Structure 1
Amino acid sequence: MKKKVEDYIYELEQLIELADQEKDKYLFQDPAYEIMDEIEELGNAFDFVEPIFLLVERSPDIDFGGPGPFGSFLEKFYRNGYEDILVKSLQRKPKKYTIFLLERLCNDESNPKREEYCTLLDSLKK
């Protein structure tokens, strides 16, 4: 039986819960890289971008990595829709991790929306 988006998100959610309970980020990060690699091989990898942000929004503030398995995956869609979904996530429920991802957008001096991202970042830091 083929796994669905929800199945992968559930697996990741379980890893996040375990890492939070045990206070060990590697209980999430190490296996999550394998899951993200599996997702990348699917033909619909972009379909996972928003569900991953929703997962981060409802998760405790664990160390997701810098950029970690999520960031490495999400940033593959940079300039292909990832930024808009990140901004929507930040508008709904900013988290340490999504603010970190926004900071990375602000570091790209060639990004035409850099000023907009930096303004949003400044407002979130207040």
Structure 2
Amino acid sequence: MTTDEIIKALSSFAPDGRSNDDNISYFYELMEALKHNADKDKAIEPIFRLIEKHPHLDYGSPGPLAHTLESFHEFYHEPLFASLDRRPTPLTVWMLNRLTNADQNYLEHKTLVEKMHALLQHPELDALTRSAVEDFVDFQDHPGEE
């Protein structure tokens, strides 16, 4: 499958009563095909748009989409931030938390934690995503506490 064909499949995806396992399997198949394409980075933005369009779909834990995005290393950071600015979702907030936990200097960590705090004021924040943000903010503000 070409990257353009994969982007088209992502853009036109509709859950249509599929089971969570069927959705996850479908995304694994697409992402497996994508990883062999030289222009695979073209799919970063469409993957984030899919997650925003279906914010509460079970994508796995973390699942093929998150694994694929994270495989782009530093190239996915700016698209992640743009996605969070447009519409935070439980998966993108989770990805921000993972990025916050990664090895980095103090100022980078502080900036990411501040971004997480700012998400609590986002106008598109639904209850489920708010709960995820609050949990991650609490975790970042009180590391090591259970």
Same fold (TM over 0.5): yes
1:96 matched to 2:94: no
- 8 Å Cα contact 1:74-1:82 kept in structure 2: yes
* Residue in 2 that maps onto 1:27: 22
* Matched positions, count: 120
* Residue in 2 that maps onto 1:86: 80
* Residue in 2 that maps onto 1:41: 36
Can you list the C-alpha shifts for 1:13-71, whole angstroms capped at 9, x where unaligned?
A: 566513xx34x211111121121011110110111001110111112411112220001
- 8 Å Cα contact 1:15-1:28 kept in structure 2: no
1:113 alignment partner, SS class: helix
Q: Where do 4+ consecutive residues of structure 1 move more than 3 Å?
A: 12-16
Please list every run of 5 or more consecutive structure 2 residues that lacks an aligned counterpart in the other structure.
Answer: 120-132, 135-146
Quote the Cα distance in structure 1 between the aligned partners of 2:64 and 2:109: 24
Please list every run of 5 or more consecutive structure 1 residues that lacks an aligned counterpart in the other structure.
Answer: none
Larger radius of gyration: 2
TM-score of the pair, normalised by structure 2: 0.71
Can you list the C-alpha shifts for 1:65-122, whole angstroms capped at 9, x where unaligned?
A: 222000110001112x211110000001111111111111111132662221111112
TM-score of the pair, normalised by structure 1: 0.82
Q: Which 10-residue stretch deviates more, 111-120 or 91-100? A: 111-120
RMSD across aligned C-alpha pairs, in angstroms?
2.1
2:118 alignment partner, SS class: helix
Once the two structures are superposed, the pairs formed by residues 1-126 of structure 1 within 5 Å of their partners are 3-5=2-4, 7-12=5-10, 16-18=14-16, 21-22=17-18, 24-79=19-74, 81-110=75-104, 113-124=108-119, 125=133
